[in-house]
Every structure is written in C-alpha cells, then in structure tokens.
Amino acid sequence: MPEFMTSPVEAFLGASPVMQALVATLFTWGMTAAGALPVFFTDRENRRLLDVLLGFTGGVMIAASFWSLLAPSIEMAADLAVPAWFPAAVGFLLGAVFLRGTDMILPHLHLNAPIDEAEGLSTTWRRTTLLVLAITLHNIPEGLAIGVAFGALAHGFDNASLGAAIALAVGIGIQNFPEGMAVAMPLRREGVGRFKSFWYGQLSGAVEPIAGVIGAAAVLFWEPVLPYALAFAAGAMIFVVVEEVIPEAQRSGHADAATLGVIGGFTVMMVLDVALG
C-alpha cells in the first residue's frame, strides 16, 4: 500500500515510541478539552456527579500506578544487579518527593478552595491562573507515565507491551474528562466567559504531550533508568491522588459517592490493563 494510503492505525503502530507517546498524550489532552465543553451549554454543575468523577479519576490513577507502572518496574528490575524492589522503591519515593517539591514552589489553588488557601510561593496571580496551575501540576505525572510506557517498548521487555501502553493512555484519557469539567465549570460559575472558561479547562491538559515526549525520550535513550522512571511516575501520581484528588472529591459532603467512584475507576483501569496488556 502506498504510504499516503496508510491508515491512521497502521501509521500509529509503525511510528517511533516517542511519536506514539505524543499521539497518545494528544488524545488525553483532547479528553480534557472534551470535559470542558459542557461549559458552552450550562452554567451549573452537578456537584455530586463531579465528586463521583473525581473519585473515578483517583481510582484510575491508583490502579495505573500499580498495574501499569510499579509491577512492570519490579519485573524489569529482576535482571539488574540490585534487589528487585530497589528501583521501584527508589523511583516511587523520588516521584513523590519531586511532586512535593513542585507543590511547595509552584503557586496553585485547589478546586473550590478560598484564595487564601493558595499553595506554593506567594504571588499576586489571579484565582483563574492558580486553578489552572493546580490541574496542570496534576497532569505532569500522567503525561510522564504514558511517555515512559511507550518508551519502554523500544527495549523489548516481555512485560512492556503496546496494549498495556494504550490501556494506560485510554484510562488516563477517560479520567481526564472530569478534570476539564472541574476547571471550566467553577470558572464559569464565578462569572468568567464561556470561551475563556473552556480555554482554561483544556489548557490544564496541555502539559501532558510535553511530559509524554520527555518521558518517552528519556527511557528510549537511557535504558537503565526505565524501572526507576516507571516507579517515579507511579510515586508522582499517588502523591497527586492522596494530596489533591480524593480530598477534593470528598470536600462537598459526598464522601460515599466519591468512594464508589474510586472503586469504579480502579476496576476500569485494572480491566483495561489486564485485558489489553
């Protein structure tokens, strides 16, 4: 078949891991934008539903951290001259420390929190900017996780499969939908214009393609770092879940519904990883 007649699927399968990571993270960015779209049609949000979706997001991230990142990290480390648990433990801790350090420095504001609860360095930035930065910080480890998963394919490890990398991208894409909504709808409720609310909502996911390409390129050109990089992404994601996602999902008094969302998200991501991986 001539090259110009190659289907998108065939082109994706034949692309380099870095290009695959870019395409996958563009998809997850697109899902964030899709989540922000309802702001054009309504000014109201169903807070209970949003809390369930935020819980779902946390469940997906927890499951992905183990099934797609930590478990492969431990298996890949079996051939290294260190205990199998060492890369996973070190990478996991470094990922959490990195996010904690970024959390302390980058000015940001969690959803529905008053402006005087802004975290990071003191700034005069507007509430809108601080909200977007909070979700952007959340999305960095997600982009890294996808990039590392696709980058691992170049090294031919038995436990690094295209199906598992795609499952991770699909799972993160699904849970990105409520993130776009979680930024856009509160901004609209505060009087921000519809287009600007949408713009800020989708913008929060723009960092994922950047992080994805960096993650894929890093492990592509430096194979020994791969088990550590997988665990690093897992540690960063778990930090975000515990520090931001689950507390926010339970802030409005819908703890039971949000907890069921976590269970649902974990189950969906587990099934995706096992079925496609």
Using one digit for the tens of pLDDT, what is the confidence trace for 177-224? 888 887 888 788 778 889 988 998 898 789 999 999 998 998 888 777
* DSSP-derived 3-state class of residue 123: coil
Crossing angle for the helix pair 207-221 and 226-240, to the nearest 10 degrees: 150
Per-residue pLDDT averaged across 254-275, rounded? 91
Per-residue pLDDT averaged across 29-53, rounded? 88
Residue 159, pLDDT score: 64
Euclidean distance between CA atoms 27 and 94, whole angstroms: 27
Per-residue pLDDT averaged across 71-95, rounded? 88
- HSE, side-chain direction, 13 A CA sphere, residue 43: 6
Euclidean distance between CA atoms 71 and 40, whole angstroms: 41
Euclidean distance between CA atoms 160 and 183, whole angstroms: 34
Neighbours of 228 (CB within 10 A): 24
pTM greater than 0.75? yes
Instruction: Work out the mean pLDDT of the chain and round it to a whole number.
Output: 85
Per-residue pLDDT averaged across 148-156, rounded? 80
Residue 65 φ/ψ, nearest 5 degrees: -60, -35
Residue 114 φ/ψ, nearest 5 degrees: -65, 155
88-113 per-position pLDDT tens digit:
999 999 999 999 998 888 887 776 66
Torsion of CA 262, 85, 217, 158, to 10 degrees: -90
What's the burial of 79, exposed, middle or buried (CB within 10 Å: 0-12/13-18/19+)?
exposed
- Are 139 and 235 within 8 A, CB to CB? no
